[in-house]
Structure 1
């Protein structure tokens, strides 16, 4: 092979290493059996969720995963492979979109997942898909934090109301 081709391949591997390093989460899927329209629809749903999906050669993925320090993903890089990279804003988005799409389209197979630098199992991917997005989690946290104050306010109001009734 010429040095030019080797340099191009090395650049692709470095780009994928950067994608793995910058992604809050990633899912490796087998899209074999999906029609062009279904893949287009999946890409559209992923794009709307802020997720980038790329089809990358398995040899490039293996090298990039090794360089990025993700052991355990090599078994997933067999056959037609696409990787969905999630952003910091919503690390659950790839799992949510892919699991929902896989429920409707049996041809889509989730092979492996990665979140915050750790390889996760398919059970963990399914659990991750059930989590709300970042705004939903912050809303739930705020509700939990407000509950004691709200309950205290109700208690004070109830005491004040009972004092008013006994005074009347």
Structure 2
């Protein structure tokens, strides 16, 4: 890798770090190509990315970003799982780690709204993975907003339905 390629890789990583909501650092000790492909496909489906990078280049890219605290975790063969949704990358990584003993979660960081990032250890990443995703939260909010209107419509239709049943019963009684 020459200087231009290294500079491009650092710029790409810096851009990624500035636009994502979470970064999870993992260690892959001898994963096969098939396992890596499965992980990348699962990440893509969740709207996240997984990238293996040179540690020195990643440390350079971390400089000037909210994720500067991740520099200490970048030792050995690591991969970086990132996503804009703060939960997506953590969920995929935790699920993948359950079925693969050669894949280890080292830690991560979660970007805060006010700026800066909160460092996460293994327990923090696992706790983050148990939270609902942004899409799930949006669906719950929409459900909560729609529920009163649905209940109101049901309540207002109930008296009309009762009157219709009473009239139908009278009509059947007169016909008999």
Q: TM-score range by the shorter chain?
A: 0.7 to 0.9
2:7 matches 1:14: no
2:95 matches 1:92: no
- How do 1:6-85 and structure 2 match up within 5 A? 6-85=3-82
Give me the CA root mean square deviation. 2.9
Q: Secondary structure at the match of 2:67?
A: coil
> Does the aligned pair in 2 maintain the 1:73–1:119 contact within 8 Å?
no
Q: Deviations over 1:6-59 (max 9, x none)?
A: 443233212211111112222111011322221121112112222221110000
Distance 2:41 2:68 in 1: 30
> Does the aligned pair in 2 maintain the 1:25–1:91 contact within 8 Å?
yes
Q: Match for residue 130 of structure 1?
A: 130
Distance 1:84 1:23 in 2: 10
**Structure 2 length-normalised TM:** 0.74
**Structure 1 length-normalised TM:** 0.77
Distance 1:49 1:40 in 2: 14
Q: Match for residue 142 of structure 1?
A: 142
Unaligned segments of structure 1, at least 5 residues: none
Q: Secondary structure at the match of 1:106?
A: coil
Q: Match for residue 120 of structure 1?
A: 119
- Which deviates more from structure 2 when the two are superposed, residues 6-15 or residues 58-67? 6-15
> Does the aligned pair in 1 maintain the 2:108–2:125 contact within 8 Å?
yes
- Could you say if the C-alpha distance between residues 143 and 120 of structure 1 is closer, same or farther in structure 2, counting changes exceeding 3 Å? farther
Q: What is the CA distance between 1:132 and its match in structure 2?
A: 2.6
